[in-house]
Amino acid sequence: MTTKKNKPISRTLSIDEKISVRSDDEGRRFIEGYAIVFNQRSKLIREWGETFYEIIEPSAPDNVLADTGINVIATVDHSRAKMLARTKSGTLKLEKDNRGVKYNIEVPDTTLGNDMYEMVKRGDYFESSFIFTIAERGYRYDNSEDVPVKYISNFERMYDIAIVIDGAYANTAVTARAAEWEETTETIETEETEENQRAAEQHDILQKQIEIFKLKK
């Protein structure tokens, strides 16, 4: 059963970490920014009955980024109905550097993609946010100050990175939709497991057919 410690939560970067657009010689368009900045103390967070500051450590995304099956999507306002790109198709790239985790969205030639490119370009959208869960024992508290500081050292998973219109609202919206994100993830994992099982069964059948063919020869 999911507990409050690993429910999907979102974090929004300060407005100093603005996102940007660019295009290349092939005519492809990109939206870029940082989804995560390391070692930066957050604003005061009140969540699940707790009040604390938060710092994301450089080790936090390592396991997620190292996963060859990583499946993170890029959305607008954390809405899966407004997907712009995803890691599985190669249209979303996540890269860790000394500063944090940077994202690169290859903008689709769709109404949503075209609108978002123009709105980021002229500064209407400028904040980034991401949804994640924390691994068991993937955090610690420093209680030496009046308000505790929560250090996150290990994500369990990342669900999405998002371009958001209102960072202050993003966490409230995601908290309200936490069950929806969990259900979607479970459905995806079930579908992928069933697909892998079918592939394994087909491989076994092929191997047996090859063995029968060799015996007949």
| 121 and 211 both lie in a single domain | no
Instruction: Categorize the per-residue pLDDT at 216 as very low, low, confident or very high, splitting at 50, 70 and 90.
Output: low
pLDDT at 193 over 50: no
- Residue 85 and residue 192 in one domain: no
Q: Are residues 183 and 152 in the same domain?
A: no
Q: What percentage of the chain carries pLDDT values higher than 70?
A: 72
Report, as an integer, the average pLDDT of 38-46.
Answer: 89
Mean pLDDT on 55-76: 95
Greater pLDDT, 182 or 29: 29
pLDDT value at position 10?
85
Q: What share of the chain is helix, strand, coil (3-state, %, to 5)?
A: 35, 35, 30
How many other C-beta atoms lie within 10 A of the C-beta of residue 181? 20
What b/e string do you get for 140-160 counting C-beta neighbours within 10 Å, with b at 16 or more?
eeeeeeeebbbbbbbbebbbb
Query: Domain containing 140: what range?
Result: 4-176
Report the pLDDT averaged over residues 164-187. Answer: 56
**Both 25 and 80 in a single domain?**
yes
What per-residue confidence (pLDDT) applies to 8?
Answer: 86
Same domain, 141 and 191: no
- Measured distance CA(7)–CA(19) in Å, rounded: 27
Indicate the average pLDDT of the chain.
82
Least confident of 106-110, 165-169, 202-206: 202-206
Q: In what order do the strands lie in the sheet with 45-47?
A: 45-47, 50-56, 149-152, 139-142
Q: Give the pLDDT band of residue 174 (cuts 50, 70, 90).
A: very low
Residue type, 49: G
pLDDT at 54 (0 to 100): 93
**Same-domain check for residues 153 and 213:** no
What's residue 104's pLDDT? 96
Question: Do 78 and 136 share a domain, yes or no?
Answer: yes
Q: Residues 14, 58: one domain?
A: yes
pLDDT band at 11 (very low <50, low <70, confident <90, very high): confident
Query: Does residue 213 surpass a pLDDT of 60?
Result: no
Highest mean pLDDT among 36-50, 146-160, 198-212: 146-160
One domain, residues 190 and 94: no
Mark whether 94 and 142 lie in a shared domain.
Answer: yes
Please tell me whether residues 167 and 183 are part of one structural domain.
Answer: no
DSSP for 60-80, please give it: TTHHHHH-TT---EEEETTEE
Confidence label for 105 from pLDDT (cuts 50, 70 and 90): very high
Average pLDDT of the segment spanning 33-46: 90
pLDDT band at 180 (very low <50, low <70, confident <90, very high): low
DSSP 2-39: --GGGS-EEEE--TTS--EEEE-TTS-EEEEEEEEETT
- Domain count within the chain: 2
pLDDT at 191: 45
Domain co-membership, 11 together with 94: yes
Q: Are 128 and 158 in contact, with CB atoms under 8 Å apart? A: no
**Residue written as token pair 């992928």:** 192
Q: List the beta bridge partners of residue 162.
A: 75, 129
67-72: long-range contacts at Cβ-Cβ below 8 A with a sequence spacing of 24 or more? 69/192, 70/94, 71/188, 72/158, 72/159, 72/160, 72/161
